[in-house]
Structure 1
Amino acid sequence: MTAPRRIRRPIRRPLAAALAVAAATLLLSGCLEYEEDICNSGEYPVLSVGGTGSACVKDGKEPDPGWARHPEGKVPLKVDDKWDVYWRTHTLDKNGKIIDAPKS
C-alpha cells in the first residue's frame, strides 16, 4: 500500500492576499508618512516681521510690506520640519535680524 499523494495547490492567491493585507497595514499604520508642503508649487514661504505669522507668495513676486523672505538656509519646506518649528518661536526684526518672537 502506498501513501496518498499530496495535491500541490498554487500559492498565488494566498500570497497575493497576504501582500495586499501587508500593504494596507503599512498605509493605515502610518509607517508611510505623508509630509505636507508649506507652500504650493510656484510659491515660496514668507514670515511676518516682528511676529510668527507666515504666508506664501507667488514666485517672482516680492513680499508685501510687513513680510519678509526667510534667511537663506532657514526656509521651511514641509509642515513641522526643523525650520517650520523654529519660526514658531522666532521672527525677524525690521532690520532683518533674527529675534525671539514676542509672547502672545
Structure 2
Amino acid sequence: MTAETLLAALGGAIIALLLGLFGGGGSVLATPWLLYVVGITDAHVAIGTGAAAVAINAAANLALQARAGTVKWPCALSFAGAGLTGSLAGAALAQRIAGAALMGGFAVAMLAVGLATL
C-alpha cells in the first residue's frame, strides 16, 4: 500500500467520523486533505474525489440516522432536491474555473462559514 493510499484512508476515517458526529464538514475537510496531505495536485480531481467519498459516507450515515428515526423526511427530501440542483450547477461551473481560483473561493467560503458558526 502506498503512502498516498494510507494517507487517503486515514483522512477518510477522520472525516467520516466528523461527518457522522456533526452531520457536516465532509467536503470542507476532504478537499484540503486530498490536496495538502495526500498530494493530489489538481483541485478539480480533489473536489471530485472528495465528493465521491463524502457521498458514500453520507449514505451510510443516512442509513443509521433513518434506522434511529432521526430523519425528518419531508424536510430532508426538499433540502436534497434543492441541493442536487445546486450541486449540478456548481459542478458544471467549477469545470470552467481554474483550480487556483476555485481554492481561493473555497477559502473565502470556509472563512465565512467559520465566522458564522462562531
State the TM-score, normalizing by the size of structure 2: 0.20
Question: Over alpha carbons, which structure has the higher Rg?
Answer: 1
Q: Higher strand fraction: Structure 1 or Structure 2?
A: 1
State the TM-score, normalizing by the size of structure 1: 0.23
Q: Higher helix fraction: Structure 1 or Structure 2?
A: 2
